[in-house]
Structure 1
Amino acid sequence: MGNSFLRISMFRLTLILGLCWSSLLEGALAQITRPSEVTALQAIKRSFHDTSENLHNWNHGDPCTSNWTGVLCFNMTMIDGYLHVQELRLLNMNLSGTLSPELGQLSYMQILNVMWNNITGSIPKEIGNITSLELLLLNGNQLTGSLPDEIGYLPNLDRIQVDQNQISGSIPSSFANLNKTKHFHMNNNSISGQIPPELSKLPSLVHFLLDNNNLSGYLPPEFSELPNLLILQLDNNNFEGSTIPATYSNMTKLLKMSLRNCSLQGQIPDLSGIPKLAYIDLSLNQLNGSVPQSKLSEDITTIDLSYNDLTGTIPVSFSDLPHLQKLSFANNSLSGSVPSAIWTNRTFNETDRFIVDLENNMLSNISGSLNIPPNVTIWLHGNPMCSNANLVQFCRSQDEYGNNSQILTNSSIICYSQSCPPPYEYASTSPIPCFCALPLLVGYRLKSPGFSDFIPYEHAFEEYLTSGLDLDVDQLEIDSFEWQKGPRLKMYLKLFPEYNNDSHVFNRSEVRRIMNMFTGWKIPDSDVFGPYELLSFTLLPPYLDAISTPGSGISKGALAGIVVGAIGGAITLSALVSIIIFKMHLRNRHETSKRRHSSKISIKIDGVKGFTYREMALATNNFSSSTQVGQGGYGKVYKGILADGTIVAIKRAQEGSLQGEKEFFTEIELLSRVHHRNLVSLIGYCDEEGEQMLIYEFMSNGTIRDHLSEYFLTHKLTDKSDVYSLGVVFLELLTGMQPISHGKNIVREVNIAYQSGMIFSVIDGHMGSYPSECLEKFVSLALRSCKDETDARPSMAEVVRELENIWLMMPQGDMKTTESIITDPGKVMLAASSSSATKNPFVSADVSGSDLISGVIPTITPR
């Protein structure tokens, strides 16, 4: 293939990339998210049944910049120049269907939240590919199958919540690798088998909730080695034949031990050495022997040892437990007296309640005072003492469950309803009477609280939650609460904005901040209140207008930077591709002598002037280094002043970059025909004294960001059509073939060779020696770009990213970075520097031929 055709093809390639700036802006706005993640999200949507059409906007625009419902992205591009999905927040959206394996392609995601839907099927093992995942929130669905081993290799997982599903199978031993995982919430499933003792090596485990499953075998004594375990909750499993290991008395950080209805046998270990133990539930087992007499922690609120085979007497040490709310020995074989000191030694606050349940034992009397404080309730039905007429008052039967729901009334101030139209309402907790505001409505549940009665802890809870949310305590109203099976404490909360004469609502950023605190589990854990779960976060209509959908939250400034960076990197590739292709051909060219006689060929081109060597020397002070503004493998670029005062940029080719005269003038003729507002104009040339120089207009400095948008919004190109033309040019350069019938013959021949594994038979020999994988990827990209169906072609943004990837695969010896000459905001020129060999997909090097009409370095630092 002749050098002239090479130059023409390279020029066409550069021109096409240059003229695609507007498409790249549109592509940057439309496809800023990594394409593989966009494809994955589309597959995820197809796997769901979205009957409520909550994901209706997942077919429009870019996920990160178009606020796809529930898709939250990082507020900056990564090193690859793309935005990435940070969180998938799809809780309570009435979704059914299954979880798509393509979830594994969201490789930067930190939070996967599909809580409280109707999703079926199994958990895809591909989730194990998301090594960045921190929160895996799948609870409240209908998932089946077993837990994938692959989850056990997620190095950053902090929380796994798969509770309230139908998951079966055993706990994978690979979970012993989850060194950062603090929260194992797997309750209310059908998980079977033995608890892997290897889990005792987990250094960060805090909450281990596996109640209501089908676990069997024995309780691992090794669990006493868990250094940070606070809650051990295994109720309603079947550890038949197992005892409570005596080593559990060494769990020095334990706050709650709940092993109700687990078929446990043997004696109760002495737990008095656990300094902050607040809750013990060992009921509904076959425990025997006497109750340990040592005094338990003063933090204890609940002791439930009912429905066992315990004998002996009630320990006197129970009379000195200041926070005890519930003491239950019902349905055992305890004998002797009931020491009244259990309640008489207590000082009760107004909200304190104390329930003593001793039904169905063999207790004979009450020792000490029979004066029962109003805060204390005693149940003695079914004991021999009930035959004593003096004690009959304590022997009435009790309902198994009392009223477990309460609505709290926080204000007695009368406010006129017509002054606060719905959905606004009066904030009853506000210090300002009749403050009318719009609340955020939160469904909230404590999964394993460390108490039996909430009322005494109500104010402490309000302070805990508002402190964690960085709100004032008077902004929270607990509308109601209800004890549920578990026991778990379900609440409905209202969060009100602060009093403000000008506004009665939270602003947009505050709504998002509060929502993110709940959904990201950023509220610190509490020893007393334990782990929580978010049941709902309701946005009333005015807030829906304010927040739209829970999108990425990318600021306009950040988006502008991303767009400029994406465009800049893409434009730079016009020079980059020229480098790759031209260097392939340059390797087999013979060196041309620097010193030649003056040109014997004369040309006349309108608007292009021939300059003498002397004129160029005078314009640049004899090519002084002080006038040099750039340098690359082709030579140097100088800023010059012509005799008439015109400021120009002079590109002076060096030895090794000189062309034949015919090729040089052919290039000049082609460049003279290019008139584009974003391409610097060719003014003239010099071909004397063995020199080859091109003289361009030199533009004053300016800010690219200030002017890019205006240009791109007024110059629209059809992205997929341009991709086809670009693909044909790629094939021309690869094969040396001339295009016939709009390139279809090239496409056909190359495709046949590619499919038959003979692709190298059609590659132009002038390409030189380059890695085969680079050429194969380049061919594949070119063929995909030339697909007949428009939708089958990659977008311009995808083409650019693939070129970047190919560039990064090139041998180190061909890599150089560049320095940019910032000229007019819309007209740019690029000069290369060989001072560095660092790879960077945003920069180019060794530009030859028509490199001065190529690209610009991004004005923001790539992240």
Structure 2
Amino acid sequence: MERERLLLLGVAVALSACWFGSLASAQMIHPGELKALKAIRNNLGDPLKHLRNWKKSDPCTSNWTGVICTQILDDGYLHIQELRLLNKNLTGTLAPELGVLTHVTYLDFMWNNISGSIPKEIGNMTSLQLLLLSGNNISGPLPDELGSLPNITKFQLDLNQISGPLPSSFANLLTVQHFHMNNNSISGQIPPELSKLPKLKHFLLDNNNLSGHLPPQLHMMRSLTILQLDNNKFEGTEIPPTYSNMSRLVKLSLRNCNLTGAIPDFSTIQSLLYLDLSLNYLSGSIPTNKLSSSITTIDLSHNQLTGTIPSNFSGFTQLQKLSLRDNFLSGDVPTNIWQNITFKATSTLNLEFQNNALTNVVGSLNPPPNVTIRLQGNPVCRRENELGIVTYCAPEDGSADAPANYTFLNSSNCPSQHCPGYFEHVPDAPDPCYCAAPLGVGVRLRSPSIYDFRPYADEFRSYVTSNLGLEPYQLVIDSFIWQKGPRLLMFLKLYPEIGNYSGEFSASEVQRLVSDFATFTIIGNDTFGPYDLRNFTLGYYQPDVNLPMSSGMSKGVLAAIVLGSISSAGVTGLAIAFLFYRRHPRNRNQGSRTKSASKLSMKVEGIKEFSFADLEKATSSFDITAQIGQGGYGKVYKGVLGDSTVVAIKRAQQGSLQGQQEFFTEIEFLSRLHHRNLVALVGYCDEESEQMLVYEFMPNGSLQNVLSDRYRSPLSFAVRLSIALGSAKGILYLHTEADPPIIHRDIKANNILIDSRFNAKVADFGISRLAPLPNTDGYVTAHISTNVKGTPGYVDPEYFLTHKLTEKSDVYSLGIVFLELLTGMQPISHGRNIVREVLQACQSGSMFSIIDRSMGPYPSECIKKFMALALKCCEDQTKARPTMLEVVRELENISSMLPETDTIASESEPSISGTGGSASQPLYARRSPYTSTDLIGSDLVSGVIPKISPR
């Protein structure tokens, strides 16, 4: 033990010498700030490990995605002015000592794995202008002290787990321009006091848990251009008529906010480009006053609007999407909406009128080829042959439900000229054979005011290059893809100008371009909205090769050499101690996990062994843009293998690594599990101190994503039932046919994945979830005793109390998933439990009031039986729940009751009971204004719903 203690002491001394030697080398940093940096290092795992070349002559030291800048002030000390550590895989928490850094203007820790809460001491950083913490795991409330930042202009805190209310102290932030706090769990009322903010431009709080009413005072934000509050839980509030006075508003998005009442007259806002009020309960007629002629997107779908489609929709010159689907609109189908639009080759116009009460077409419905019209679900389609509108009444195929994505293909006409190394042909350069080294930049438009980007690509390129001081040909939009929000993820390539015969940017030019993106100095644009920096792909411009070098040797550099020598001596001593430690017989077999010939090897039929290089290439070096998920084990990436196979790569983080024998045992075990409703293992990687599992890729993501994605067309009852049946079959296989059997233990909507045909496949099962096996006497226990694990809301109540895990624990969790499929509710939301809410509705005779209203028409008897099964699965007492075999049989029985047009598509796998349906069905529901009693019932059959005591 004494040897180990001495070794650890040597490690600590050597690392401290290296770190402090590098920091103090160029010039004396203020002692208080140096102490704060030490605390940051302790909390985040040495975040400055790449920033060791401190030089008195350089105000900033960087490797371009990690920057620390200093400034010499009157006291003669160096003071930290910028601290930017973007996408550095930092873990740990934010240190309260950050409050000491009162001269920092830019604090950027975006796209890391930082957890914990935001320290209230950040409110002491009085020089702070940008607080950038997007894409971490930060939780807890927003401190009131953040309202004391006198110079703050941007809060970028989205994609975290921040909870609690929005502090009313934020009303004191008279310089703030951007609130980007979407995709958190912020709750409560929007403070009316925020209406005092004179400079606020962007108010993005979508995908939170806000409640209460919409403050009518927000119209007093005289600089506001974007108000985006989608997917919140406002309590049946109306849209305040005062919002029509927001004279500078460019985008208003209030999708899925429980809004009621009439649509205000927004014709007074002549700057408005984007209006989305879909998935609410708005009623009355559509205002007839003309909106801005430049508007691109109007989405009023999935409401309760009545009356006719106004004629004023024909005056828009930039319109790309008009969605009025799933309302109660009557009268004629308009035939002149596109008459004032001059279409480019890439321009499109999507007109969505499905599922209304439109009865006639006056004149000829003969739009240009750029226009898509959808009329299915209207009475007018009964006359489709007579009116010549068959094309527009055809069933939906989903192709026009989302805007187009794009990938650039460089087709140079210079095959004889080979560009060396990282160099590429610059496609739009005056000389088409010009070769240059690109600098890659990943950005995301947070709230664009357009539906289709393609007609605006040239405008976007001019906008960005003019801000960067480049020519338009120096920027190529390599690819873009629309994400939920909707937000637009883009990958850009910047090239040196053609007069630069070296074909490369200088190091200082790279630093300037990176800094311009990272510090958001690019001036905002109403059409494209605020942007989000995701990553840099440096390629040729790797910092270890091209870091700026200082001319001459200052005293600070000389001091760095001396201290560096001391540090090197410490490291050398540490190395000797480590070798001695390794040579000791007891420790000889410990060391790197890097694969070698002496290590265990394994060949499993059908399972491929991948090299680290294979998977690194498949994911573009595990780029953040390839990340599609994250859990306690690590991250999941989408990858494209060399043979173009798309896969999901599950990369374990250090704390989740197994021993090699255990890892290979799990792979061998997983390779024996084959079922159409289980996610298939493709291969694995075990080298470079990495453990990765490669699975088939599921393009529609998780069931949780499908149910919560309001931008996607809603799922029909038949598809929901099919997902339930597929999930149950997959779990039944784990319980009864896996050898040895598996209790999943974490069944939830996020662990049920959906393939391209909307088949359900169970994920995240493994050797750690084995069911009990017979002991030496042949006796099998009925449970596993284990610490409580699982996801809140899905956990079996008995398991939570007794720590006894059984197959019926999976039945309970699956029952919760069934309730989600039926209601669209979350297991736990605002302190409300889904089982309790559903049970109360059923016992009061109002079961159909809680059915997900986006489902469309459904057979009431099937709903009753499915609901009864779901609640039976959720019984408190284990013995009262059905077995998984009984669950599968009942679901097959329900599917056999579906009308022929809605029957679940047959599968190659035979059904358990032999009653599976055979007809195909549409993937999505269509809500019709004509509902009849055979589709939606009102009273429960006595005895159908089991009695469960509310918890």
**Shorter-chain-normalised TM-score: which range?**
0.5 to 0.7
Cα distance 1:468–1:108, how it changes in 2: closer, same or farther (>3 A)? same
Q: Residue 420 and residue 335 in structure 1: after superposition, are their counterparts in 2 closer, same or farther (change >3 A)? A: same
1:244 lines up with 2:243 in the alignment? no
C-alpha change, 1:163 and 1:717, in structure 2 (3 Å) is closer
Write the deviation string for residues 478-510 of structure 1: whole angstroms up to 9, x where unpaired.
001111100001111000011246311100111
Task: Give the conservation status (yes or no) of the 8 Å contact 1:177–1:202.
Answer: yes
What is residue 41 of structure 1 aligned with on the other side? 37
| Partner in structure 2 of residue 119 of structure 1 | 114
- Distance in 1, matches of 2:507 and 2:360, equals 64
Alignment match, 1:397: 395
Q: 1:190 to 1:445 in 2, by over 3 A?
A: same
Match of 1:477 in 2: 476
| Pairwise CA distance, 1:413 | 3.4
**Contact 2:439 2:541 (8 Å CA) reproduced:** no
Pairwise CA RMSD: 3.0
Q: Deviations over 1:577-613 (max 9, x none)?
A: xxxxxxxxxxxxxxxxxxxxxxxxxxxxxxxxxxxxx
Counterpart CA distance in 2 for 1:160 and 1:712 is 37
Report the structure number with the largest CA radius of gyration. Answer: 1
2:114 paired with 1:141 = no
CA 1:309–1:26: 2 relative to 1, 3 Å: closer
Residue 106 of structure 1: how far off its partner (Å): 1.2
In 2, Cα distance between equivalents of 1:545 and 1:504: 19
Q: Which amino acid aligns with 1:118?
A: N
**In 2, Cα distance between equivalents of 1:442 and 1:27:** 29
- Cα deviation digits, residues 167-214 of structure 1 (max 9, x gap): 000000100000000000000000000000000000000000000000
Provide the C-alpha distance between the structure 1 equivalents of 2:522 and 2:59, rounded to a whole number of angstroms: 28
Aligned match of 1:262: 257
Deviates more, 1:417-426 or 1:274-283: 417-426
Deviations 1:727-777 (A, max 9, x none): xxxxxxxxxxxxxxxxxxxxxxxxxxxxxxxxxxxxxxxxxxxxxxxxxxx
Residues 392/428 of structure 1: CA separation in 2 closer, same or farther (3 Å cut): same
Q: Does 1:467 align with 2:461?
A: no
Distance 1:716 1:423 in 2: 33
Q: Deviations over 1:522-569 (max 9, x none)?
A: 000001110000010121244424543xxxx89769x95xx69xxxxx
Q: Does residue 320 of the first structure (1) align with residue 319 of the second (2)?
A: no
Instruction: Report the CA distance between 1:391 and its aligned residue.
Output: 1.9
For the residues of structure 2 that align with 1:308 and 1:712, how far apart are their CA atoms? Answer: 67
CA distance in 2, matches of 1:200, 1:432: 53
Preserved contact between residue 278 and residue 451 of structure 1 (Cα < 8 Å): yes
* Percentage identity across paired residues of the two chains: 53
Give the one of 334, 342, 349 matched to 1:347. 342
Distance 1:368 1:61, change over 3 A: same
Please tell me whether the aligned partners of residues 75 and 555 of structure 1 are also in contact (alpha carbons under 8 angstroms). no
The runs of 5 or more residues in structure 2 that have no matched partner are 1-20, 567-951
Q: Paired residue for 1:538?
A: 537
Aligned partners of 2:70 and 2:81 also within 8 Å: no
Question: Contact between 2:405 and 2:482, CA under 8 Å: does it hold in 1?
Answer: no
Conserved in 2, the CA contact under 8 Å of 1:55 and 1:68?
no
Aligned pairs for 1:99-114 (under 5 A) are: 99-114=94-109
Return the offset for 1:411. 5.5
User: Judging changes above 3 Å, is the alpha-carbon distance between structure 1 residues 282 and 66 closer, same or farther for their aligned structure 2 residues?
Assistant: closer
Equivalences for 1:532-681 in 2 at 5 Å?
A: 532-548=531-547
Alignment partner of 1:151 out of 138, 146, 149? 146
Once residues 564 and 202 of structure 2 are traced to their aligned partners in structure 1, the CA distance between those partners, rounded to angstroms, is 56
The residue aligned with 1:190 is: 185
Q: What amino acid is aligned across from residue 324 of structure 1 in structure 2?
A: L
User: Residue by residue, what CA displacement relative to the aligned partner does 1:813-841 show, whole Å, maximum 9, x if unpaired?
Assistant: xxxxxxxxxxxxxxxxxxxxxxxxxxxxx
Q: Report the secondary structure of 1:535's partner residue.
A: strand
Q: Which residue of 1 aligns with 2:509?
A: 510
Partner of 2:651: none
Gaps of 5+ in 1: 1-24, 565-708, 719-863
Cα distance in 1, alignment partners of residues 90 and 493 from structure 2: 26
1:291-330 matches, cutoff 5 A: 291-330=286-325
Give the aligned residue type for 1:67: T
In 1: Cα distance, 2:367 partner to 2:565 partner: 87
- State the match for 1:435 in structure 2: 434
Residue 56 of structure 1 corresponds to which residue in structure 2? Answer: 49
Residue identity matched to 1:309: Q
Distance 1:83 1:226 in 2: 39
1:67 aligns with 2:76: no
Amino acid at match of 1:472: E
Distance change in 2, residues 1:83/1:293 (3 Å): same
Q: Give the conservation status (yes or no) of the 8 Å contact 1:73–1:84.
A: no
Q: Could you say which residue in structure 2 is the equivalent of 1:528?
A: 527
Note if contact 2:30-2:79 (Cα within 8 Å) is conserved in structure 1: yes
- Is contact 2:437–2:495 with CA below 8 Å preserved after alignment? yes
Deviation of the 1:422 alpha carbon:
3.0
Tell me the equivalent position of 1:206. 201
Shift of 1:67: 3.4
Distance 1:27 1:351, change over 3 A: closer
3-state DSSP of counterpart to 2:113: coil
1:287 aligns with 2:287: no
Supply the AA of the counterpart residue of 1:391.
I
Deviation at 1:286, TM superposition (A): 0.2
Given that residues 405 and 480 in structure 1 are in contact (C-alpha distance below 8 angstroms), is that contact kept between their aligned partners in structure 2? Answer: no
| CA offset digits 1:117-171 (Å, max 9, x no partner) | 1111101111111000000000101110000111111000000010000000000
Q: CA offsets per residue over residues 31-59 of structure 1, 9 Å max, x none?
A: 42212212211211111146xxx643568
Alignment of 1:492 onto 2:491: yes
CA separation in 2, counterparts of 1:232 and 1:348? 29
Query: How far apart, in 1, do the equivalents of 2:186 and 2:559 lie?
Result: 61
Matches of 2:299 and 2:173, distance apart in 1: 33
- Read off the aligned partner of 2:33 and give its amino acid letter: E
| Residue 727 of structure 2: aligned partner | none
SS in 2 for 1:450: coil
How far apart, in 2, do the equivalents of 1:306 and 1:297 lie?
19
Task: Name the CA distance, whole Å, in 2 between partners of 1:265 and 1:55.
Answer: 52
What residue identity is the alignment partner of 1:395?
C
**Greater shift in the superposed pair: 66-75 or 439-448:** 66-75
**Contact between 1:71 and 1:85, CA under 8 Å: does it hold in 2?**
no
Residue aligning to 1:751: none
Please list the CA deviations of residues 273-310 of structure 1 after superposition, one character each: whole Å capped at 9, or x if unmatched.
00110000000000000000000001100000000000
Q: Which has the higher contact order (CA 8 A, sep 6+)?
A: 1
Which residue number in structure 1 is paired with residue 455 of structure 2?
Answer: 456
Q: For residues 134 and 369 of structure 1, what CA distance do their matches in structure 2 show?
A: 57
Which residue is 1:3 aligned to? none
* TM-score of the superposed pair, with normalisation by structure 2: 0.54
Structure 1 residues 402-411 or 451-460, which shifts more? 402-411
Q: Secondary structure at the match of 1:378?
A: strand
Which residue matches 1:687? none
Shift of 1:404: 5.3
SS at match of 1:97: strand
Question: How many angstroms apart in 2 are the aligned matches of 1:168 and 1:713?
Answer: 48
The answer on whether the counterparts of 1:184 and 1:209 sit within 8 Å (CA) in structure 2 is yes
Partner of 1:356: 351
1:90 paired residue number: 85
User: What CA distance in whole angstroms lies between the structure 2 residues aligned with 1:61 and 1:233?
Assistant: 43
Partner SS state of residue 84, structure 1: strand
Q: How many matched pairs?
A: 541
1:644-669 Cα offsets, whole Å, 9 max, x none, are: xxxxxxxxxxxxxxxxxxxxxxxxxx
TM-score, structure 1 as length reference: 0.59
- 2:468 maps to a residue whose letter is L
1:693 matched residue in structure 2: none
The DSSP-based 3-state class of the residue aligned with 1:342 is coil
SS across alignment from 1:167: strand
The CA deviation at 1:369 is: 2.1
In the TM superposition, residue 336 of structure 1 has moved relative to its aligned partner by 0.1
The 8 Å contact of residues 411 and 429 in structure 1, kept in 2 or not, is answered as no
Distance in structure 2 (CA, Å) of the matches to 1:366 and 1:49:
67
- 1:474 shift after superposition: 0.4
Amino acid paired to 2:61: N
